[in-house]
Each structure stands twice: as structure tokens, then as C-alpha cells.
């Protein structure tokens, strides 16, 4: 039982961070004027929802209760994103903040996949989802750099 609690707790941390991202992308998709960005944000929000669902299923399989809320850092990041968007370049502001949220998620996934304390059941799910997480991260990083260079 101890093992499954560790699995649930590891995965629940990732659920919180992925949920932050999902909520933030959904909000950003409603706020930006650029149609292509809106589509991109909506697509990544859906992707984050799938990650949350898969992690939640793994938590349940381990006998745990899936996390249903985000993190404090995520809430603060959203507030900051709103503020930054209100003050100026909405599109770049959101992309920069979202890219930061991607950094956080990727870092958390990388850590869980490398940590020797991560139970095998948790590691399997993390390793399976990692390419997806990395791909979203890379898309947002490329977008941020492209926008930065266009300014």
C-alpha cells in the first residue's frame, strides 16, 4: 500500500501542474485576438486535459484519489499573465507565461522520470507521456522565440 501512495502522490503533483497549464491555456485562448494562437492554445489545452486524464487514471489504478485542483504557483502565474496582458502585448505576454508553465511541467516530468524514488507504476506513465509534454514545450518555446525576434 505504501508503494501505491507514493505513486499517487508523485502523479498528483504532475496532475496539479498539468491542470494549471490547461486552465491557463483555456483562458489565454479566450483572450487573444490572433486566430492561429487561439487554435494553438485550445489544442494544447486539450492535450493538457488528456495528460490530466491519463495521470488521474494511473492514480486511481494505484488506489489513490486524483488531484482535482491546480497549484498556488499556477494561480499566481495566471494572475501575472493577466496583468502582463492587460499592460501591453497580450499575445506575447500569454505566450511567454505559457512557455514558462511548459517549463515547469517538463521539469516536473523530467524529475519524476529520473528520480530513483519514483515508483515503477508512476515512472511508466511519466515516461509514456514525456514525449507529448516535451513536444508542447518545444512548440511554445519556438513560438516565443519567433515572436521575440519579430519585435
Dig out the grid coordinates for 26 from the structure.
483555456
38: exposed, middle or buried (C-beta count within 10 Å: 0-12, 13-18, 19+)?
middle
* Whole-number pLDDT of residue 2: 46
**Could you tell me the pLDDT band of residue 42, with boundaries at 50, 70 and 90?**
very high
81 contacts 94 by C-beta, under 8 angstroms: yes
Per residue in 58-81, pLDDT (tens digit) is 999 888 999 998 887 777 777 776
**What is this structure's pTM?**
0.88
* Whole-number pLDDT of residue 79: 74
User: Is residue 3 scored above 70 in pLDDT?
Assistant: no
User: What is the rounded distance in angstroms from the CA atom of residue 149 to the CA atom of residue 151?
Assistant: 5
DSSP one-letter string for 70-92: --HHHHHHHHHHHHHHHHS-HHH
Q: Which of 45, 24, 25, 17 is nearest to 111 (CA)?
A: 17
**CB-based burial, 102-124: b 16+ in 10 Å, e otherwise:** bebbbebbeebbeeeebbebbbe
Q: State the CATH architecture for 2-150.
A: Up-down Bundle (1.20)
Percent with pLDDT over 70 in the chain? 91
User: Is residue 1 scored above 60 in pLDDT?
Assistant: no
CA distances from 66 to 43, 61, 137 (A): 23, 10, 24
Amino acid at each position: 500500500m505504501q508503494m501505491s501512495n507514493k505513486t499517487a502522490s508523485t502523479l498528483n503533483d504532475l496532475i496539479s501542474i498539468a491542470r494549471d497549464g490547461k486552465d491557463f491555456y483555456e483562458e489565454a485562448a479566450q483572450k487573444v485576438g490572433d486566430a492561429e494562437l487561439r487554435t494553438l492554445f485550445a489544442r494544447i489545452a486539450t492535450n493538457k486535459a488528456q495528460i490530466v486524464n491519463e495521470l488521474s487514471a494511473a492514480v486511481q489504478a494505484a488506489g489513490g484519489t486524483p488531484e482535482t485542483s491546480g497549484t498556488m504557483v499556477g494561480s499566481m502565474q495566471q494572475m501575472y499573465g493577466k496583468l502582463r496582458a492587460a499592460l501591453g502585448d497580450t499575445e506575447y505576454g500569454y505566450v511567454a507565461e505559457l512557455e514558462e508553465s511548459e517549463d515547469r511541467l517538463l521539469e516536473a516530468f523530467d524529475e519524476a522520470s529520473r528520480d530513483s524514488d519514483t515508483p515503477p507504476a508512476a515512472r511508466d506513465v511519466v515516461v509514456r507521456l514525456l514525449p507529448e509534454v516535451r513536444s508542447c514545450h518545444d512548440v511554445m518555446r519556438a513560438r516565443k522565440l519567433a515572436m521575440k525576434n519579430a519585435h
